[in-house]
Amino acid sequence: MYYTGLLNNGIRIIHRYVDSYVSHCGIIINCGTRDEDFNQHGLAHFVEHMLFKGTKKRKAFHVLSRMDDVGGDIDAWTTKEETVIAASFLTEHYERSIELLNDVVFNSAFPQKELEKEREVIIDEINSYKDSPSDSIFDQFDELLFPDNSLGRNTLGAKSKLLKYNSDDLLNFVKEKYNTEQMVFCSIGKIKFEKLVKYCEKYFGQNPENQRLYQREKFETKTVFNKSVKKNTYQAHCVLGTYAYSFKDNKRLLLSMLSNLLAGPGMNARLVMMLREKKGISYNIESSYVSYEDTGCFNIYFGSDKDKLDLALEIIKKELIKLKENKLGSLQLSKLKKQFVGQLAISSEIHSNTLLSMGKTYLIYNQVETLTDVLKEIDTVTSEQLLEVANEIFDLDKFSTLIYY
């Protein structure tokens, strides 16, 4: 069961009570890389790093020690559309955690001295990605798939831009983009909702309302590309994919199931069986589907020996065509549902995972389906629906390909 509330400044609250020694809470902000202006590339991620580098009342050491001193943990990350700050702790430290989250989100000072040091840390992070083709290929794929749009920018930013930012740039970004009605405080733990709300009112509730005055740049222009880049790697790395459903589309569950069938976490996924188990030509193959506010992306990644690249691509395309031309039989559909349901149920047992999924869902839809509701929805899925989605998304003429070799 979920409990929800709303503070006077527009911050929403969602809580799930669990009887556990360990609790989790976080704040999810509807602000990420795509909210950056053209001259702000990397600023959302830079701000997220700097949230822990000092507030109006705490030095960086005291921010970091606040949770460490009681054996807790606090972390943050930035995506294309969200910034997340989350903490895990013994249940007795709920108020401490909420107070700290409020302090770093609303009172960070972004001291110039700390900024200079953290800038070098992020540049080192960028360089580490460049050394990892299996990571960097996704960034370039997005750049090509979403050209001239903020969705195509990588989250880390560019060194040339990062070198120019100062404390005022970060302060202004937070003032403009960290809007209270675009925030959700989420919690899972052993605390009564009434008490949790009092803590939220005491800390988050003291901040003035800050409404969003801008709109995100919508993505509209689609493209198809086939690009190879010489990287002098031992393996060939490849991403092939296309545009997909936004998070407003009710077919997103169906595509998630097909993605799972192709190359999800199960070792019996179709492409894993074909490329790894039967042919032995790829150690790592995975498919993913990411939905955004107004579009989405479905892609398949694999690495293989360079002389096996064409064979791997041929096998993948054949499997995609099969899903377009052949409806799943009743046994295949039943197995897919059972596997998907099992993975969701196991994931829901990890409360830190559930915290983020329920928080993001409440941020986007202003409501949360229970696991029971989702399982019922999966149970109603038909082979005809999956076939329809396969024909809408797996059109190979609309697939793009990026290869590192």
Task: Give the pLDDT of residue 380.
Answer: 98
Look at residues 310, 312, 316, 314 and name the one whose alpha carbon lies nearest to residue 298. 316
Task: Give the pLDDT of residue 138.
Answer: 97
Contacts of residue 145, Cβ cutoff 8 Å, sequence gap at least 6: 152, 223, 225, 241, 243, 297, 400
Task: Give the pLDDT of residue 12.
Answer: 98
* Segment 53-97, tens digit of pLDDT: 999 999 999 999 999 999 999 999 999 999 999 999 999 999 999
Residue ranges covered by each domain of the chain? 2-206, 226-404
The string of DSSP letters for 168-185 reads HHHHHHHHHH--GGGEEE
Same fold, 2-206 and 226-404: yes
Structure-token pair, residue 200: 């939220």
Q: How far apart are CA 59 and CA 69, in angstroms?
A: 15
Task: Give the pLDDT of residue 124.
Answer: 96
Task: Give the pLDDT of residue 19.
Answer: 96
Task: Give the pLDDT of residue 139.
Answer: 96
Fold of 2-206: Cytochrome Bc1 Complex; Chain A, domain 1 (3.30.830)
* Segment 216-268, tens digit of pLDDT: 999 999 999 999 999 989 999 999 999 999 999 999 999 999 999 999 999 99
Query: What Cα–Cα distance (Å) separates residue 324 from each residue in 72, 128, 260?
Result: 49, 39, 16
Superfamily of domain 226-404: Metalloenzyme, LuxS/M16 peptidase-like (3.30.830.10)
Beta bridge partners of 27: 85, 185
Q: Which residues of the chain, if any, have pLDDT below 50?
A: none
Q: How does 327-339 read in b/e, with b if 16+ C-beta sit within 10 Å? A: ebeeeebeebbeb
Q: What pTM was estimated for this model as a whole? A: 0.94
